[in-house]
């Protein structure tokens, strides 16, 4: 059940990054974000905005071989990319459950690969490309708890 549901539209990558920065302001330690959406829709771009929002020295990039990247900042962001995961159990071997308890922010790309392990309070964000308009994205945020995101583009 979502208490919060809101749709934001972005027209380019920079706006999606800015939305990420605004979302960062609304998060609290321990929050988990699951980012759904097709290849190259903007999940990592949104995550980069989150790392900017937390004033990290490094900005999120697409991990090549590492599945989990750590970005220290106002809150530490743990960026987990499950694209290459074949068996959901793999994520447990990588210490997934410990990351949930570190008091940072856990951001997961391709969360459908580990759906059964997502905690109940997961904030789900789905990014959708509009067929006709190459750069437009509808970004739907759903949260089981109250969230206050202000964003206008």
Q: How many CA atoms lie within 13 A of 87 on its CB side?
A: 5
Q: Tell me how far apart the 2 most distant CA atoms of the chain are, in Å.
A: 42
- Residue 62 in the binding site for ligand ATP (CB under 6 A): yes
Task: Mark residues 107-126: x for contact with ligand ATP by CB under 6 A, - for none.
Answer: --x-----------------
Partner from ligand ATP, Mg ion, none binding residue 39, C-beta < 5-8 Å depending on class: ligand ATP
Stretch binding ligand ATP (CB under 6 A), from 39-47, 67-75, 88-96, 115-123: 39-47
Among 79, 113, 124, 137, binds ligand ATP (CB under 6 A): 137
Beta-strand relationship, 123-129 and 32-36: parallel
Helix, strand, coil percentages for the chain (3-state, nearest 5): 25, 25, 45
CB of 83 vs ligand ATP, minimal distance in Å: 6
Q: Of ligand ATP, Mg ion, none, which one sits near residue 56, judging by CB under 5 to 8 A according to partner kind?
A: none
Distance CA 129, CA 109 (A): 16
Residue 39 beta carbon to ligand ATP: minimum distance, rounded to whole angstroms: 4
Contact predicate 84/67, CB 8 Å:
yes
């Amino acid at each position: 059940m979502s208490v919060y549901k809101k749709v934001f539209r972005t027209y380019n990558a920079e706006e999606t990054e800015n939305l990420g920065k605004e979302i960062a302001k609304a998060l609290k330690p321990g929050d988990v974000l699951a980012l759904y959406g097709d290849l190259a829709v903007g999940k990592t771009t949104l995550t980069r905005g989150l790392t900017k929002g937390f004033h990290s020295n490094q900005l999120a990039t697409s991990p090549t071989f590492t599945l989990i990247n750590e970005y220290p900042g106002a809150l530490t962001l743990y960026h987990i990319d499950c694209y290459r995961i074949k068996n959901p159990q793999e994520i447990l071997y990588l210490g997934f459950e410990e990351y949930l308890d570190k008091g940072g922010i856990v951001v997961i790309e391709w969360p459908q690969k580990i759906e059964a392990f997502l905690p109940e309070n997961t904030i789900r964000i789905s990014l959708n490309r509009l067929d006709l308009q190459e750069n437009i994205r509808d970004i739907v945020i759903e949260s089981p708890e109250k969230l206050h995101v202000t964003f206008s583009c």
